[in-house]
A and B are shown apart, each in its own frame.
Chain A
Amino acid sequence: MAEDLVLDTAIRDWVLIPLSVVMVLIGILRYFVSKLMRSSQIPDPKIVKEGQVIVRARNLRAGANFIPSKSFRARRVYFSNEENGLLHVPKGQAQNAQAQMFSDPNMAMDMMKKNLSMIIPQTLTFAWVNFFFSGFVAAKIPFPLTQRFRSMLQNGIDLSTVDVSYVSSRSWYFLNLFGLRGLFSLILGEENATDDTQRMMQMGGFGFDPSKSLGAEKDSLDIVQHEWALPKFEQRAETVLKNLVS
Chain B
Amino acid sequence: MAGRNDSGASGKKSSDITNDLQIFNTENLQSNMKVIYYSRTFLSIIGGVIAGILGFTGLTGFIFYFLIMAITSVGLMAKAKFSVQSYFDSWNRILLDGFLGGLMSFVLFWTFAYDIVHIF
Q: Which residues of A contact B (CB under 8 A)?
A: 7-9, 11-12, 16-17, 20, 65, 138-144, 167, 175-176, 178-183, 185-186, 190, 229, 232, 235-236
Q: List 28 A-B contacts (CB under 8 A).
A: A7-B120, A11-B120, A16-B116, A65-B21, A139-B111, A140-B114, A140-B115, A142-B52, A142-B55, A142-B57, A142-B58, A142-B110, A142-B111, A143-B58, A143-B61, A143-B62, A144-B58, A175-B108, A178-B108, A179-B104, A179-B105, A179-B107, A181-B104, A181-B105, A182-B44, A232-B19, A235-B18, A236-B16
Residues of B within 8 A of A143 (CB): 57-59, 61-62
Tell which of B16, B62, B102, B119 touches A182, judged by Cβ atoms closer than 8 Å: B102
- Number of B residues near A (Cβ < 8 Å) is 36
Q: By the criterion CB–CB under 8 Å, are B58 and A178 in contact? A: no
A142 interface neighbour in B16, B44, B45, B56, Cβ under 8 Å? B56
B8 within 8 A of A: no
Contact of B104 among A11, A167, A182 (CB under 8 A): A182
Given contacts A20-B112, A142-B61, A182-B105, 10 further A-B contacts (CB under 8 A): A12-B120, A139-B111, A139-B119, A143-B59, A143-B62, A178-B108, A180-B108, A183-B105, A186-B45, A236-B16
What CA separation (Å) do A9 and B117 show in the bound complex? 11
Given contacts A12-B115, A179-B104, contact A190 B45 (CB under 8 A): no
B37: shortest Cβ distance to chain A, in Å?
8
In the bound complex, residues from chain B placing their C-beta under 8 Å from that of A11 are 120
Q: A182–B41 contact, CB under 8 A?
A: yes
Q: How far is the CA of A178 from the CA of B107 in the complex (A)?
A: 11
A232 → chain B closest CB, angstroms: 6
Identify the B interface with A (CB < 8 A).
Answer: 2, 16-19, 21, 34, 37-38, 41-42, 44-45, 52, 55-59, 61-62, 101-102, 104-105, 107-112, 114-116, 119-120
**Closest A residue, CB atoms, query B119:** A140
A67 CB, nearest partner CB in chain B, Å: 13
Instruction: Give chain A's interface secondary structure class.
Output: helix
Q: How far is the CA of A149 from the CA of B109 in the complex (A)?
A: 19
- Among residues of A, the one whose C-beta sits closest to the C-beta of B115 is A139
Contact present for B108 and A179 (CB under 8 Å): yes
Nearest neighbor of B55 in chain A, beta-carbon distance: A142
Taking A8-B120, A179-B108 as contacts, is the C-beta distance between A185 and B41 under 8 angstroms? yes
Are the CB atoms of B104 and A178 closer together than 8 Å? yes
Contacts of B61 in A (CB 8 A): 142-143
Tell me the nearest residue of chain B to A179, going by C-beta.
Answer: B108
